[in-house]
């Protein structure tokens, strides 16, 4: 994968914190910033993909009730995700 330069402004305190972490991990601040940006981009792409899937399901009248989602969120970590139902 090729690399390119990217210039940005960063808060002085945040830069100091980033440099401290980079020294601790024996990495450059540039490497750490690249990893952080990569993680952010991947997380946002995944979120956008999930929203797109959700919107397609809504268009097809497929849903999971609020009660079922609440119960799942409060359940044990091993609880299966509720099944979607066709609302007609």
pLDDT tens digits, residue range 39-87?
Answer: 999 999 999 999 999 899 889 998 888 999 999 999 999 999 998 888 7
DSSP reduced 3-state for 33: helix
- 2-22 pLDDT per residue, tens: 999 999 999 999 999 999 999
pTM above 0.75, yes or no: no
Kindly state whether residue 32 falls inside one of the protein's structural domains.
Answer: yes
Kindly state whether residue 1 falls inside one of the protein's structural domains.
Answer: no
Tally the domains of the chain. Answer: 1
Kindly state whether residue 6 falls inside one of the protein's structural domains.
Answer: no
Kindly state whether residue 58 falls inside one of the protein's structural domains.
Answer: yes
Quick one: pLDDT at residue 88? 66
Kindly state whether residue 82 falls inside one of the protein's structural domains.
Answer: yes
Q: Which residue range forms the structural domain that includes residue 24?
A: 12-86
Cβ contact 43:34 at 8 Å: no
């Amino acid at each position: 994968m090729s690399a390119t330069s990217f210039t940005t402004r960063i808060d002085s305190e945040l830069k100091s914190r980033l440099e401290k972490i980079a020294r601790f991990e024996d990495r450059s601040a540039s490497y750490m910033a690249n990893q952080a940006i990569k993680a952010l981009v991947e997380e946002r792409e995944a979120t956008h993909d999930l929203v797109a899937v959700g919107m397609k399901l809504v268009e097809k009248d497929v849903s999971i009730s609020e009660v079922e989602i609440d119960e799942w969120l409060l359940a044990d970590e091993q609880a299966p995700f509720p099944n979607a139902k066709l609302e007609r």
